[in-house]
Structure 1
Amino acid sequence: MTAVAWTSGNSLELLENGEAFFPAVFDAIRQAQRSVVVETFIIFEDEVGARLQQVAIEAARRGVRVDITVDGYGSADLSAQFIDAMTCAGVAFHVFDPRPRRLGMRTNLFRRLHRKIVVVDDVVAFVGGINFSADHLADYGPTAKQDYAVSIRGPLVDDIARFEAEVLQPVRPRFSWRGLRRKSKAPDSVPGDSMAALVVRDNDQHKTDIETQYRVGLRAAQRDILIANAYFFPGYRFLRDLRNAAKRGVRVRLVLQGEPDMPVARFVATMLYDYLLSGGVQIYEYCERPLHGKVAIVDGIWSTVGSSNLDPLSLALNLEANILVNDRHFSSMLQQRLESLIESDCRLMRRETAPRRKIQRVLVGVFVFHFLRRFPSWAGWLPARKPVLRSIPAPMDEQAEERP
């Protein structure tokens, strides 16, 4: 298990949904003086993507170094015109694992860049589960997503900036993390008093770090575990830790999707309901709109916010990033938000109201449990090329180059 590099003296702010996240990020980029790094799974060419494009272009034109990295699967539909507008202004635009379509279908399904990280001037960072798309805004309609992110100031930003510099090194050799501090800031000055850490999952040295930290929290819990996660299909050991916690008297609650953006996500999650409910775990389905959050709180002190779902893709294939927090005030704020969801917009699942155990479901359930036991080893059989970042050059003439 890789040791977690906890830092103290951080100031953390919980950001709920696009209404809080987008203004905070865009305002930070507008104030940027030296550097902006954006790493995200999805940018769509909608009102949110257009605002990101605008503030990125404005920053680049005033001399700020701007790097934007997207996933080749999640952002496969970005037009050349959208990207060219930024690269012509000096924005460095990178694509993770760009691959051509085959018969009109995206082929880079496995091992996706699923992180959502923004770092501005090595002073403020944002980490969470929110993509740059309008479906994270409430006025999008019934399919608007419920999600969370965290704004960070303090020593942890240095760790995040250093991590992003290492990610960008193959495409920006002169991109280096300097850990610069404001000269006006006293050497011992810190913006807050929160303990926090960055934990990532990759396919090299950190294959199980996020799942391991979750399980450390579950096994240490004494009173209360509250997890809200969009795509819930974790490994067998994770499920066993949940049941064991409930059996030793810990109140264990899961908030899962009741109105999923992908119906199959709820279907596979319900395969686990009977096993968890029979062990004393409480399951709530959020029914107001699709749940996209990936957060948890243990005993009102330990919490996590990030991009990692609790499913095979996130736990064994994708590149993910979460923030771990050891702070009663922040964790209490996050818990209050989730308690509000439970009270107003969730239905409690009971064994008598859970999907009936028809013979088909029993057979599928047996398969599910064997799958969960063995998936970590099976994941090694799936495509695992060396991660590739490709930078999109600015067009040399009026006709942009063909995009991947």
Structure 2
Amino acid sequence: MNDEALREPLPGARRAQRALRKLSTSTRPLVYGGNRIELLKNGAQYFPRLLAAIDSARQSIYIETYIFELDSVGEKVSDALAAAAQRGVAVHLLIDGFGSQTTADALIARLKPQGAKVIVFRRTRWWRLDRRLLRRLHRKVALFDDRLAFIGGINIIDDHHHPDPEPVRAGLGPRFDFAVACEGPLVAAVSYTTTRLWWTMSVLQLKRRPKWRPQPIEPPALAQTGIRAALLLRDNLRNRRTIERAYLDAFAHARHEVLIANAYFLPGKKFRDALCNLSSGGVRVRLLLQGRVEYRLQHYAQQALYGELVKCGIEIYEYTPSYLHAKVAVVDQKWATVGSSNIDPYSLLLAREANVAVYDETFAGDLQRALEAAITSESSVVDAAACARRSRLRQALSWAAYQLVRVLTMVATRRADG
């Protein structure tokens, strides 16, 4: 089936067109009711669902990912995509040119002969020093037949594919991460933004306009007992601050508790002040952060903030059994978010990101319990005493790393966007 047939708008789609296009212009998230949203923890829950969705797709598949590793998991996913393309499904794979730089050509060689379409988002070239290359495709989205979508922080990579040498790697657990499976009206928003980005990349790389244009689809009928949810996007055009603003709006309504799990936590002053003000006002604020060193600059820069945050009364825990890759939060067990966006300059100011905000106590409770379990049995506390025990050299390195991140952020975010 060709792309032109796939994107032909369904009857009544014009009623949805104006609302969906607000994804590009609205300063607040559009909340859709009547959805089915399922929380998926780690690749052990995510990849079986993803492979089943690929195998059952009949019309179209769109997958966006930062990392597509050809390990045991990536091989299964690429084989499933090739089989789907062979049976006539329109398969579209958009991978980042930095995160997937070592596998991009191999994926093209595997999938294109089977009829799948593969686009590499901003290939990196070592001889090209361009700050626009820092503006990466970091979101992880999968869309099937305009009826089922997955959004989260999980790349296409085995949970046990760690950067450590083998003796250390063998003792680590699976990467700690989350995604959501979505069905219902929210999928119409995911479809529109996903196909629009594919269309844009096709124009840029093929140097011609495809015959079809992305069209809003008719949202599925509302489920009477469904969940309210919103799609949160970040790009370098109109959605620069959407995800950060959603966090700040949730904080403004917090009355009891804020719980955040984030792999790379380097928020700006406004974000830090919001958390400190909550803690000072009696709201319990807890942070579950990366305890293992994956990227030294971010790790030490993050630790430079610990003293300030602990002094405000914020509780900090470091996850140590493996690498924490989650980008999730829960506020008052009523609002929750799951997605690809870290709380750092790279995600909040540079990369393309996608989160889902969920307004449901049952979903928020499930996510909170998963985070509580990790805090209770798999994390170490960072309190004032732990901060005081850090050597002066360690403190100096953290301070230097933080200042370097600030300088790099200012250079990278000067408005000469791409």
Name the TM tier (shorter chain). Answer: 0.7 to 0.9
In the TM superposition, residue 116 of structure 1 has moved relative to its aligned partner by: 0.2
CA RMSD, aligned part only? 2.8
Choose which of 50, 56, 59 in structure 1 pairs with 2:81: 56
Residue 149 (structure 1) aligned with residue 182 (structure 2): no
Give matches, 1:337-356, under 5 Å: 337-354=370-387, 356=389
In the TM superposition, residue 165 of structure 1 has moved relative to its aligned partner by: 1.2
Q: Which position in structure 2 is the counterpart of 1:266? A: 299
Q: Which position in structure 1 is the counterpart of 2:55? A: 30
Q: Which position in structure 2 is the counterpart of 1:238? A: 271
| Contact in 2 for aligned 1:236/1:372 (Cα 8 Å) | no
Choose which of 291, 295, 301 in structure 1 pairs with 2:328: 295
In the TM superposition, residue 177 of structure 1 has moved relative to its aligned partner by: 3.8
Q: Which position in structure 2 is the counterpart of 1:167? A: 197
Write the letter of the residue equivalent to 1:48: V
CA distance in 2, matches of 1:370, 1:124: 43
> Relative to structure 1, is the Cα distance of residues 66 and 149 closer, same or farther in structure 2, using a 3 angstrom cutoff?
same
> Relative to structure 1, is the Cα distance of residues 50 and 372 closer, same or farther in structure 2, using a 3 angstrom cutoff?
closer
Give matches, 1:360-379, under 5 Å: 378-379=411-412
| Contact in 1 for aligned 2:134/2:412 (Cα 8 Å) | no
> Relative to structure 1, is the Cα distance of residues 173 and 356 closer, same or farther in structure 2, using a 3 angstrom cutoff?
farther
CA distance in 2, matches of 1:166, 1:319: 13
Give matches, 1:22-171, under 5 Å: 22-78=47-103, 80-102=105-127, 109-135=133-159, 141=170, 142=172, 144-170=174-200, 171=202
Structure 2: 5+ residue stretches without partners: 1-25, 203-209
After TM superposition, the score normalised by the length of structure 2 is 0.83
CA distance in 2, matches of 1:112, 1:382: 16
Higher helix share: 2
In the TM superposition, residue 269 of structure 1 has moved relative to its aligned partner by: 1.5
CA distance in 2, matches of 1:90, 1:180: 28
2:274 partner SS:
helix
> Relative to structure 1, is the Cα distance of residues 102 and 333 closer, same or farther in structure 2, using a 3 angstrom cutoff?
same
Q: Which position in structure 2 is the counterpart of 1:179? A: 217
| Contact in 2 for aligned 1:146/1:290 (Cα 8 Å) | yes
Q: Which position in structure 2 is the counterpart of 1:389? A: none
Choose which of 201, 210, 213 in structure 1 pairs with 2:234: 201
CA distance in 2, matches of 1:316, 1:79: 25
Give matches, 1:206-285, under 5 Å: 206-285=239-318
1:10 partner SS:
strand
Q: Which position in structure 2 is the counterpart of 1:4? A: 29
Structure 1: 5+ residue stretches without partners: 182-186, 387-404
Sequence identity of aligned pairs in percent? 35
CA distance in 1, matches of 2:404, 2:267: 10
CA distance in 2, matches of 1:18, 1:193: 26
| Contact in 2 for aligned 1:10/1:155 (Cα 8 Å) | yes
Q: Which position in structure 1 is the counterpart of 2:339? A: 306
After TM superposition, the score normalised by the length of structure 1 is 0.86
Tell which deviates more after alignment, 260-269 or 332-341. 260-269
| Contact in 2 for aligned 1:200/1:321 (Cα 8 Å) | yes
Write the letter of the residue equivalent to 2:62: V
